[in-house]
Structure 1
């Protein structure tokens, strides 16, 4: 596994709820999570080898401010994985994708210009899509859109925009509606970084191995979501204070004065 940055201890979360308190038993030799939510039985004993090179540009806050990040698990599942911290790709970001690349470079992001990944695989001869490089943008959806726009000046001349099916007209699922959703998604079809990579590898890997790789990764994600869902079901949730805009508050104050 080729990591371009060290995994931070900030990823040691209790299924995504609260930071690990002092004294809690941690699985230091394996997944790095609290022992009672250890995922080692679900993680492959050795990272999976793929013909696809997966490059993840992750927002600098993706790990430190997002305890639900699936990147630490993804890093333990794949051998041919490169994680790049930053908010845009440029020629100096990584030697993996110097334009023009000898291998197809696929930018997986649901942009208007993106074609369906499955359709691209069907229409492209095997020789033209062998050993591809899969680019993933990881962050909140707002961050990912900004990262996509900032990286396009470099990527637009050689990267092939592709996407998984997303329906922007339908609300996305939550973890209580899907066993693979880590947090509430904005639209139907939006998935976590780990699930997106798993679905893409099913299509990109040589026939026969893609489905097995996908199922192995999905099994890890399914276990993580089960731990998180169980935790939330037994947690007393405080009502969130409704945020109001200043102009609304000012209008209410004026109405009171006029009354």
Structure 2
């Protein structure tokens, strides 16, 4: 009983001290509680381009959505959805709603995505993903009378690789890649190599090939050019590719300790396709 009483006394003492400290802290913060609180107001965004209205890019979008027969399915990694300077909303704003469908996620099973499964099994569906087994899109037979579908994965290269290899649905369509000399105009974001293109740029080149109309590429690239120009005028810096930085001795970050990542950088410097 005495031990219990002693224990209770210690607890009471510590409790009293805590209350005293709390009172002192409350007194010291009294002035803070009286400061006016400003309500944060979210900037209004344009319904079409998704940009804040003060920097709306609609003047650089086509007046009417482009008339195309090819349908795009954009498979977007969830991390891309929260990026401020993403390109998929600009791409979608250039096309009819039924010609540009965006699915967000990492894993796509046939049970949960029956429509996507049907699309991937369609013989006229192509998936734009470079690799040893990919055919050049320019060389693919496009004589089918039925509309073609192109699946494009939107994310960083490591994210795209993860989505491609961990979803068996994406290995059903014919795999294609772009053979183009176009250098990325998305200069406000770092790319792995000089030949890497943003999702919007890939879609622009692919649609121009599929529709046999180079004007489509120019129209879709226009809002991206305007976006980058605006950002550069307001303090953004041009981001060279990792390949460019490594080859010119300008890469100022610590080299990775991970052997696999270090090997990838060596391949970039030696012009080996990765």
Shift of 1:154: 2.3
Residue 162 of structure 2 corresponds to residue 146 of structure 1: yes
Q: Structure 1: how far apart are the matches of 2:94 and 2:142?
A: 28
Per the TM alignment, residue 218 of structure 1 is displaced from its structure 2 partner at its CA by 0.9
**Residue matched to 2:269:** none
Q: Which residue of 2 aligns with 1:77?
A: 94
**2:222 matched residue in structure 1:** 219
**TM superposition shift of 1:162:** 0.2
| 2:220 is equivalent to residue 204 of structure 1 | no
Alignment gaps of 5+ in structure 1: 1-20, 235-240, 247-259
- Aligned residues of 1:110 and 1:166 also touching (Cα < 8 A): no
Q: Counterpart of 1:155 in 2: which secondary structure?
A: helix
RMSD (Å) for aligned C-alpha atoms: 3.3
Q: Residues 140-198 of structure 1: CA distance to partner in whole angstroms, max 9, x if unpaired?
A: 111011011112x2233x3000011389xxxx97xxxx644341211132111001000
Q: Which has the higher contact order (CA 8 A, sep 6+)?
A: 1
**2:57 maps to which residue?**
39
CA pair 228-47 structure 1, distance change in 2 beyond 3 A: same
Instruction: Tell me: CA distance 1:230–1:155, structure 2 relative to 1, closer, same or farther (3 Å).
Output: same
SS at match of 1:107: strand
Aligned residues of 1:56 and 1:138 also touching (Cα < 8 A): yes
Q: Residues 139-178 of structure 1 correspond to what in structure 2 (within 5 A)? A: 139-151=155-167, 153-156=168-171, 158-165=172-179
The CA deviation string for residues 109-143 of structure 1, in whole angstroms up to 9 with x for no partner, is 112211111122xxx15126x41110000111110
* Aligned partner (choices 86, 89, 114) of residue 134 of structure 2: 114
Name the structure 2 match of 1:231.
234
Task: Tell me the TM-score normalized by structure 2.
Answer: 0.64
Deviation at 1:48, TM superposition (A): 2.0
The equivalent residue for 2:24 is: none
The alpha-carbon deviation at position 231 of structure 1 amounts to 2.1
Assess if the C-alpha contact under 8 Å between 1:182 and 1:192 holds in 2: no
Distance 1:47 1:154, change over 3 A: same
For the 8 Å contact 2:76–2:104, the answer to whether it is kept is yes
Cα deviation code 1:61-113 (max 9, x no counterpart)? 1121x222111111211111110011133324251541774451111011221
CA distance in 2, matches of 1:118, 1:161: 13
The equivalent of 2:36 in structure 1 is none
TM-score normalized by the length of structure 1 = 0.67
Matched residues in 1 for 2:185 and 2:256: separation?
36
Counting helix residues as a fraction of each chain, which structure ranks higher?
A: 2
User: Mind listing any 5+ residue stretches in structure 2 that lack a counterpart?
Assistant: 1-38, 238-251, 258-274
